[in-house]
Amino acid sequence: MPKWGFGSIRNRVLALFLAVVLAFTLAVMIITGVLTRSLVTDLVVENAQALVHHQSHIISLWQKERVADLEQLANSDLLETMDWDSIEPYLLRQIEEAPPYYLIFFVAEPDGSYNTTSQRNAGSIADREYFPKVLAGETVITGPLVSRSTTQRVIIIATPIWNQDRSSVRGVLGLSMDLEELFRGSQELMVSAQQDSLYLIDEDGYFIIHHDPDLIMNARIQDVFPGWDDLPKQSGSFSAVDDGRSYQAYYQKLPDPSGWTVAVRVPTSYFSAPVNKLILHLTAVAVGGFALVLWLGSWFSSTISKPIVELNQVFRRGAQGDLTVRAQVKTRDEIGETGASFNRMMETIGSMTYYDPLTGLPNRDHFMNSLESALNSGGSAVILALVAIRDLPEIKTFLDRGEMDRLLMHIARKLEEVGDDDLIIARISEGEFGLIIPANANAVLQVIDRLDQLLAKPLPYQDELSVRLSGGISISLDQDLSADLFYQQAQAALYEAEHSADLSLKLYDPNVHHALVERMRFQTEIRNALDHGQFVVYYQPVVDLLSKSVVGKEALIRWNHPSRGLLAPGQFLPAAEQGGLVERIGEYMLHKVCAQHEEWLKAGLKPGWVSVNISALHFRSPHFPAQVQSILASYDIPREMLRIEITEEAMLEPTPEVLENFHALSSMGIYIAIDDFGTAYSSLQYLASYPMQALKIDKVFVDSIDRSTRMQGLVKSIIGMGNNLSMEVVAEGVERENQLQLLQKMGCLKAQGYLFSQPVPWKDYLGVQRRISEHLGEMGTLLGTRS
């Protein structure tokens, strides 16, 4: 290397370059350290809070499961007898099948005397704090106690044993759970595998779960953190020191009935260790990088001159696809000749095109560049589809060149109809086309569905010819996936499709179940379920409170899935909406319901009216009234027997088309009801603007009507508003008799809910309807006429 001297331009440029690199490196290290410390702290805190929330949710679910199991036992006919000779063997069997922390079951009389599965006449629990609460009808989860019958540390879940009509408590059923066994088996309650990071604390601060079993029930959180009682009760954080190590702890209180609190501790080293490690690595990288830059900078500064730098910039622009760039170097040496050769090369390339001259579509090079750009964009996943003509060599034997060109153009136009402007379609080779589908919207599923429909059957071309197409699809699940490897994956799927006897479109699956793939498959299952009639109708009766009779019912859809069992609407309707299948489901339900009622009417039965739920998207369709009219014309049932239920969402964007649908259905004699009234944010103006005959009060309001005077006032206002507008008012989700009494006093004349019947299969409905009608009179003054 030449001697150093700052008098030369080369050395001054090199010195400046090194200074800039050094300053930039130091700035990056400082900024990265500060930002990383902040990000790591935020991330650790966020993860800890999420862990606490999730952990509290898991334990809350565990509590609810234990309470539900115990209440189920208490509600059995055997327990209602309070005959310990009969009950004891049954409970012993339950203990044998239960987890190890189930210690004993016990049954107590109202006077407090009780028997346990380990000891008869075990004494009295009348003085236990939880006992009077249970006799008052509550289910109670206690804090840590010492069992009187086993002297072990336990928590107790106790629930009332009601008489047959649930008017009085006959006794108490209790479950004692061993705290030590609960700790040993607490992995099922742990979100994290680090048990020493979790505390479970009762209302008084005593430990229920602690990594040191000796502290369970014997120590309090106040011993670790004296300021515990001054903290917010529901959730928060605090700092503490345990075993000489400092921690930051986060806690959240569980909902009633237990009042327990979950706490998770995070060592403070978690906040600083990643930052220190990152700074160490950055320092090592910076030192190595600086040495490399020093060597390379010295070499480049001694060999590169201004004309070469200019040529390098020109070459880069040309490599990036700028066909208009030209070299401006005018020297007479080798550099000048290189610039002239480059200009001649760009002239040659400029005379070519990136598009296929026959179809006007991008060619292979353009397509692969677009694919590389899509993969490197850092956005959502990319879907690559390849479509090829089957048996192309045979087709070419009886088509001349002109006919073959027209066939290729015909296929190109069909593929263009599959997608929208965001879709990139190219002709890759003679009989192969490529499609780049950005997976950033729900419409991608419709594009793939249309492509599947295009490939599902032979494509007609002229009178005597039809061609079969095959397709392969690959999804970019790996962020580091190259365009070439991505293309190879799609080629593999295309190869499988070309050699498949039944499927013309294959999806490349590298055994990684991406969410988009699962959604596509689930929507395919929904489509198959519609084709094979796997959806079934359930009915829930609607009761007239004045006539004390079942006057109608609501039709509810269920999916009898071949492998997952019976699925509720919430498990598949969101996917159906995303895949554009909700209108088919609505039409399917209308056909099913009308066919079933036609069968009942022909048998001389009187099933009453039926309401069918229609989605907002389906209802807004301009073809919906004609569809309803066509369905009614296909079945021999009175039009007034069919009712349509829509949610307020259908009217959130009132348009002339929506109003036209309302009037068209009204002129047909179709009864329209607003379902889930009050749960959306629409204007009340539509109650007067749209021809609707009924509104249904959502279950969320009815649930707390007998517990909240404010909710009573709200429901009373809704009922009054409906009655003043001459609309029928139906209360949904009625489950308790006192709810029904309040609703009737407020002027609500129709109701449905579990108090009368759960939704039942259509074949069982008429029997359920008869039984309800027989029992409505037995409810006495509950359904009496309003004064």
Q: At 579, list the tokens.
A: 């895949």
For residue 395, which of 410, 408, 386 has the smallest C-alpha distance?
A: 408
What are the tens digits of pLDDT across the range 460-469? 887 778 889 9
Whether the per-residue pLDDT at 298 is higher than 70: the answer is no
Please give the pLDDT value at position 41. 67
Please give the pLDDT value at position 416. 87
Question: Could you please report the per-residue DSSP string of 86-147?
Answer: HHHHHHHHHHHHS-TTEEEEEEE-TTSEEEESS-SS-EE-TTSTHHHHHHTT--EE---EE-
Q: Write down the mean pLDDT value for the chain.
A: 81
Please give the pLDDT value at position 475. 85
Helical residues (DSSP H) of 304-416, grouped into ranges: 306-319, 334-350, 364-376, 392-398, 401-416
Whether the per-residue pLDDT at 516 is higher than 60: the answer is no
What are the tens digits of pLDDT across the range 692-703? 899 999 999 999
For residue 643, which of 688, 692, 577 has the smallest C-alpha distance?
A: 692
636, burial (CB in 10 Å: exposed 0-12, middle 13-18, buried 19+)? exposed
For residue 620, which of 569, 588, 583 has the smallest C-alpha distance?
A: 583
Residue 380 pLDDT level (bands cut at 50, 70, 90): confident
How many helices, marked H, and strands, marked E, lie in the chain?
25, 29
Please give the pLDDT value at position 614. 92
% of residues, the chain, pLDDT over 70: 81
Phi, psi of 88 (to 5 degrees): -55, -50
Indicate the pairing of strand 432-438 with strand 459-461: unpaired
What are the tens digits of pLDDT across the range 141-171? 888 888 887 888 888 999 999 988 888 899 9
What are the tens digits of pLDDT across the range 176-191? 988 777 767 665 555 5
Residue 760 pLDDT level (bands cut at 50, 70, 90): very high
